[in-house]
Amino acid sequence: MSDEDAERCGYVAIVGQPNVGKSTLLNHLLGMKLSITSRKPQTTRHNVLGIKTEGKLQLIFVDTPGIHQDRKKAMNRVMNKAAENAIQDVDVVVFVVDRQQWDETDQLVATQLLQSHKPVIVAINKIDRVDDLQALLPALEKLHDFLPDAELIPVSALQSKHLDTLEAAIARYIPDGQHLFPEDQITDRSERFLAAEIIREKITRQLGAEVPYQVNVEIEEFSHIRNVLHINALILVEREGQKRIVIGTKGDRLKRIGQQARLDMERMFDGKVMLKLWVKVRSGWSDDERALRSLGYTD
């Protein structure tokens, strides 16, 4: 039994297939926006730590890339490996599924969780879109059959419904141990990384289905000059046609991306931001493991 006066600290992996709401769930658990979100799958590419400290309890959430079956490209293999490795190193796993949806990819994730022998909590997300919760029963039965030891908790990440129940369930698996991060720290990621992710989020939301997956953002300058944060960012694409799409007619799309990103940065960094964006073609970067490592993609 845990001593009520002892500090507790543990890692919590948030896993699931793409586009089930993992990053939205993390943001609402933290009470602030940390992970980028969009309606397009595979928006998250890196494991991102979100740290929540309340009193004696420190929860270190790991928001993982969506696990998916397509492993043809180096980018997909690296993203899958990052998520799979995270499962091995945590105290409890939150497996996010989309209400009544259960397909081969969910089954792939569930199989990996069974093999990991980690405690699993299934967060059945987007219940705000279900008029009658009785409609969830078939999905609940299927989940129970496949993960008989898992706790099943229906939630709405977007509307913060039942997240207190989910957090209480998570806390039951957190061991005694000293906190690993200061009380006011919310992530292990640098401000440069967060700035690049904000820009990539705006690109993902602005563009069509294919282009965002062949776009990366590199921060070339990140400096404070007389109370203004100056950020110069390079947007990498794989083909000239993609460069034209990102820039838009007379630069209008790139301008919108920059304006939206700057506003989010000013909120996140609590100050004035001067943002400059460039677009450059670098062919084949998303299927080149050496290029991915140089861009910060590791498993």
C-alpha distances in Å from residue 108, one per residue of 114, 175, 203: 10, 28, 30
> Among 192, 209, 207, 194, which Cα is nearest to 254's?
207
pLDDT at 289: 59
pLDDT at 40: 46
pTM for the predicted model, two decimal places:
0.76
Residue ranges per domain, the chain?
Answer: 8-171, 191-294
pLDDT at 233: 95
Q: Tokens 């969009």 correspond to what residue?
A: 38
> Among 92, 91, 71, which Cα is nearest to 81's?
71
* Helical spans, DSSP H, in 147-239: 163-171, 191-206
Q: Is residue 242 a contact partner of residue 207, using CB atoms and an 8 Å limit? A: no
Q: Which one of 3.30.300.20, 3.40.50.300, 3.20.20.120, 3.90.1310.10 gives the CATH number of domain 191-294?
A: 3.30.300.20
Average pLDDT by consecutive 10-residue portion of the chain (299 residues)? 75 85 88 67 60 94 66 55 73 87 78 88 87 74 85 90 95 95 89 90 77 77 94 91 90 95 93 95 68 55
CATH domain 8-171 topology: Rossmann fold (3.40.50)
Q: Tokens 């006011």 correspond to what residue?
A: 184
Sheet hosting strand 92-98, strand order edge to edge: 48-54, 57-63, 8-15, 92-98, 120-125, 151-154
pLDDT at 6: 87
Q: Is residue 62 a contact partner of residue 14, using CB atoms and an 8 Å limit? A: yes
* Helical spans, DSSP H, in 18-120: 22-30, 74-88, 104-116
Q: Is residue 81 a contact partner of residue 106, using CB atoms and an 8 Å limit? A: no
Element (H, E) at 174: none
In our burial notation (b when 16+ CB lie closer than 10 A, e otherwise), range 144-165 reads: eebbeebbbbbbbbbeebbbee
Integer Cα distance of 136 and 97 in angstroms:
12
C-alpha distances in Å from residue 187, one per residue of 35, 51, 127, 175: 10, 6, 28, 20
Integer Cα distance of 237 and 232 in angstroms:
17
